[in-house]
Amino acid sequence: MTLRRLLASLLLLGLVLSTTVTARALDKLDRLRLAEEELLYLPNGRHIKLMSLGHQALFADLFYIWAIQYYSNYERKDRYRYVEHVFGDVIGELDPYYVDPIWLGALILSVEANDLEAGLRLLDRGLTRNPTQWIFPYLAGWELYHRREFERAAVYFGRAASIPGAPPVTRRMRAGMFSKAGLLEDALRQWQEVIDDSASDETSRRVAGLQLRELALKRDLATLRDAVERFRNENARLPRSLEELHRRAYIQQVPLDPNQNPYRLDPRTGEVRSTAGRMLGGE
């Protein structure tokens, strides 16, 4: 009896050991990895919805968690081919209201895959499905800002700002993009709108006030310097004062700087300056 028990125990131990050894040996085998081909047959979310039997949101979560792990593996080459499909067609179709996968997918596309347009397409799809989610055009605006496409960024920030409930920063960003694009008049109008908007908060109004001062300074300096240049070209000398520029109709009026002080013209060099510029970090 004791011998049988001993033999049985030894047999069990042997089986456990051999299973462990086999498992370890299997792990060490250099198996062919399918890489991105494994995604080739990943069906559309609408088809997976059929299989989910009413648990499509749970399936969306599971696909999202899987996608995070999948795209965190930097050893995979050419892993960006199906990002739009995974995040837009699969997860997006399973749970159209799920915001996180859309912005993460867009981030992977624009930052890691360097495919800005695909990232924007994904964010656009997110907005189409969720017209109240200002975060999608807001993120699209930031992606374009990083690529220095300020005018397109302004359009996206404007779209975000037009969605009810969007925070004031969206309007500030829109106005800021016009400034960055060098469209001074548009920027001045946008910043003025931020000040006039009753929905704007104290921070937005303060930022808008500073921006308006800086842009007005830039605009005046550009106008005055241009007038000085034209005067020099036409008269073969520099103007003696800003009043002379006004008298000779090179400028419509002699402006005051944002601190209500006159601009200063150096008649020897033709340089126009403002004391307000130092305070504003400008000239």
Partner 1 sequence: MIDGLAARVPPPWTAIRAIALNTFREAIRDRILYLLLVFALVLIGSSRVISLMTVGDENKIIKDIGLSAISIFGVLTAVFVGVSLVFKEIERRTIYTLLANPVRRWQFVTGKFFGLLAVLALNVTLMSVALFALLGFRGASPWGLLPAVLMIGIELTIITAVALLFSSVTNPILAAVATAATYVMGHLAWSLQLLKARVDSVAGSAFCDLVYWVVPGFDRLDIKTEAVHGITLPSGFLPLAIAYGLGYAAVVLFVACVLFERRDFS
In three-state secondary structure terms, 273 is strand
Among 45, 56, 175, 227, binds partner 1 (CB under 8 A): 56
Least Cα distance to 111 among 101, 119, 123 occurs for 119
Least Cα distance to 191 among 214, 164, 177, 209 occurs for 209
When asked if residue 183 is in the footprint of partner 1 (CB under 8 A), the reply is no
> Which residue type is seen at 149?
E
Distance CA 216, CA 184 (A): 8
Give me the phi and psi of 200, to 5 degrees please: -70, 145
**What is the nearest approach in angstroms of partner 1 to the Cβ of residue 53?**
4
When asked if residue 104 is in the footprint of partner 1 (CB under 8 A), the reply is yes
Percent of the chain as helix, strand, coil, to the nearest 5: 65, 0, 30
Among 98, 145, 250, 263, binds partner 1 (CB under 8 A): 98
By C-beta, is 64 or 263 nearer to partner 1? 64
**What is the nearest approach in angstroms of partner 1 to the Cβ of residue 271?**
53
> Which residue type is seen at 265?
L
**What is the nearest approach in angstroms of partner 1 to the Cβ of residue 68?**
6
**What is the nearest approach in angstroms of partner 1 to the Cβ of residue 130?**
9
**What is the nearest approach in angstroms of partner 1 to the Cβ of residue 59?**
9
By C-beta, is 104 or 227 nearer to partner 1? 104
When asked if residue 201 is in the footprint of partner 1 (CB under 8 A), the reply is no
When asked if residue 68 is in the footprint of partner 1 (CB under 8 A), the reply is yes
Looking at 4-12, 94-102, 141-149, 209-217, which segment touches partner 1 (CB under 8 A)?
94-102
Least Cα distance to 122 among 144, 132, 43, 108 occurs for 108
Among 8, 55, 261, 267, binds partner 1 (CB under 8 A): 55
Q: How many residues does the chain have?
A: 283
Among 95, 143, 214, 257, binds partner 1 (CB under 8 A): 95
Distance CA 180, CA 153 (A): 10
Buried b (16+ CB within 10 A) or exposed e, 137-155: bbbbbbbbbeeebbebbbb
Among 63, 64, 138, 157, binds partner 1 (CB under 8 A): 64
By C-beta, is 60 or 265 nearer to partner 1? 60
When asked if residue 53 is in the footprint of partner 1 (CB under 8 A), the reply is yes
> Which residue type is seen at 165?
G
Which residues of the chain form contacts with partner 1 (CB under 8 A)?
50, 53-58, 60-61, 64-65, 68-69, 95, 97-101, 103-104
